[in-house]
Amino acid sequence: MQGVLVELFGVGIVITGGSGIGKSECGLELVTKGHRLVADDSVDIIKAPDGTLYGKCPDVTKHFMEIRGIGVVNVKSLFGPGAVSDGVSVDIIVELIRWEDWEDPDRLGSEEQYCRILAVDLPMARLPVRSGGNMATVIEIVARNHILKKRGYNASMDLIKKVSDKIRKTEKR
């Protein structure tokens, strides 16, 4: 799969998007924030017998990233062995989309989106990119939100319930 695979808080996220949108730069920023790079540009994904997807880097490009304007860098050499991982479960797909091409009628995030890979539906976040935006921080929020959802908490549903309860209380008066 074409993209950047990173591990944040134990969550494997594949960052996808069009050429030049900033996938590698975003991955590099996440590494500088203490997260781990698994693969840049090309991600090998396999399906385990239990249905879990697992991602790793092709051996030839392991630990390398291409950063436009700089060239190829070795993340392990620059940041140390803690900045890379040989592989991680693939838990979420993040698609970076140019701001002007982004259309999202569901601003609350109440409609889950999925991406099917190897017959497995993975949660997907489509994120608009604009100049000056901090996509690494937004992707950290995607990972943290995923962890909360796995624990049973959904902020969108919580807000919708609170607003609905408020409306019902107001209507009873």
CA dihedral 9, 14, 19, 23 (to 10 degrees): 10
Q: Indicate which CATH number applies to the domain containing 140.
A: 3.40.50.300
pLDDT in tens, 62-121: 999 999 889 999 999 999 999 999 999 999 999 999 988 877 666 666 678 999 999 999
5-9, 92-96, 140-144, 164-168: segment of lowest average pLDDT: 164-168
pLDDT score at 169: 84
Residues 6+ apart with CB under 8 A from 39: 3, 4, 5, 55, 56, 57, 58, 61, 62
The domain containing residue 65 runs over which residues?
Answer: 2-172
Structure confidence at residue 157 as a pLDDT band (50, 70, 90): confident
Question: Helix, strand or coil for residue 168?
Answer: helix
pLDDT value, residue 109: 65
Mean pLDDT of the chain: 92
End-to-end Cα distance, the chain: 56
What percentage of the chain carries pLDDT values higher than 70?
Answer: 96
Q: Are 95 and 125 in contact (CB under 8 A)?
A: yes
Q: What confidence tier does 41 reach under pLDDT thresholds 50, 70, 90?
A: very high
- Region of poorest pLDDT, from 21-35, 86-100, 148-162: 148-162
State residue 42's pLDDT score.
Answer: 95
Question: What is the structure's pLDDT at 158?
Answer: 87
> What percent of the chain is predicted at pLDDT more than 90?
73
Instruction: Please say if the pLDDT value at position 26 is more than 90.
Output: yes
**What's the total number of domains in the chain?**
1
